[in-house]
Amino acid sequence: MNTAIKIFTPEGQEAGTVQLPGQIFGIRPHSHALWMAVKGYLANRRQGTASTKGRSDVKASGRKPWRQKGTGRARAGTVASPIWVGGGVAFGPHPHPYHLKVTKKLRRLALRSAFSLKAKQGQIIVIEDPSLSEPKTKKITQLLGMVGIEDGQKVLFLTGSESAELIKSCRNLPYLRLKLAKDVCTYDLLDSKTLLLTKSGLEEIKGVLLE
């Protein structure tokens, strides 16, 4: 079932309503799909390059430091022992991949679930595409205030196309993240408090998730 919500002009004035497709914004959120999508996203960001030297990797003499008995000291077989300063590391990390494959079907289900969760919580705001003749962070700040977004609130701004003026106007706001709608992932949606969506961005999402 489609849902109608208000659409605002770039100046923050109401300009009618827009329909949010129920197949994207009205499904029952699938918690396991959300979990898998976020887990895969975070795992695939890891480089897996952490490395330590074991006792066999440390450059050290193979000679026994002192004889086994009669010295009054604890027995020792090598200076590369993990309990010695400069020795190897016991059970330390070694390079390995953390890659986790998430199927396309599951990713799309997770995206629909995240969009539906935002819609259910009333955290989606749709605006007409802004046209800026020059970079102006003040205009973006005023727009956010006019549509009811509090200063400092984490916002994900999705648009169908980016312009140099829009990018420069948004990049000085640390709590605002601008992204193309076609590149959005589940983690981006769940990591933001409010979803600010342009009309072209909404059409882009519908084109991808309704195909």
- What's the confidence (pLDDT) of residue 72? 96
Strand order of the β-sheet with 176-180 is: 14-20, 3-8, 124-127, 194-198, 155-159, 176-180
Question: Domain residues of the chain, as ranges?
Answer: 3-46+98-209, 49-97
Residue found under tokens 């709590």: 175
CATH number of 3-46+98-209: 3.40.1370.10
Question: What's the rounded Cα separation, in Å, for the pair 195 and 122?
Answer: 10
Count of CB atoms situated within 10 Å of the CB of 158: 25
Output the pLDDT for position 75: 95
Rounded distance, CA 19 to CA 4, Å?
Answer: 4
Lowest mean pLDDT: which of 6-15, 35-44, 178-187, 188-197? 6-15
Q: State yes or no: pLDDT of 1 exceeds 80.
A: no
> Both tokens of residue 123?
């955290």
pLDDT in the model for residue 165: 92
From residue 154, give the alpha-carbon distance in Å to each of 63, 103, 177. 60, 29, 8
What is the b/e burial string over 63-96, where b = at least 16 CB atoms within 10 angstroms of the residue's CB?
eeeeeeeeeeeeeeebbbbeeeeebbeeeeeeee
Please calculate the CA angle 166-172-177 and round it to the nearest 5 degrees: 65
4 - beta bridge partners?
Answer: 19
End-to-end, the C-alpha distance of the chain in Å comes to: 17
pLDDT digits (tens, 9 = 90+) for 107-136: 999 999 999 999 999 999 999 988 888 999
Pick from 17, 23, 28, 16: which is nearest to 2 by CA? Answer: 23
Q: What is the pTM of this model?
A: 0.85
The model's pLDDT over 14-47, given as tens digits with 9 standing for 90+, comes to 888 999 999 999 999 999 999 999 999 999 999 9
- Give the pLDDT confidence score for residue 12 in this predicted structure: 83
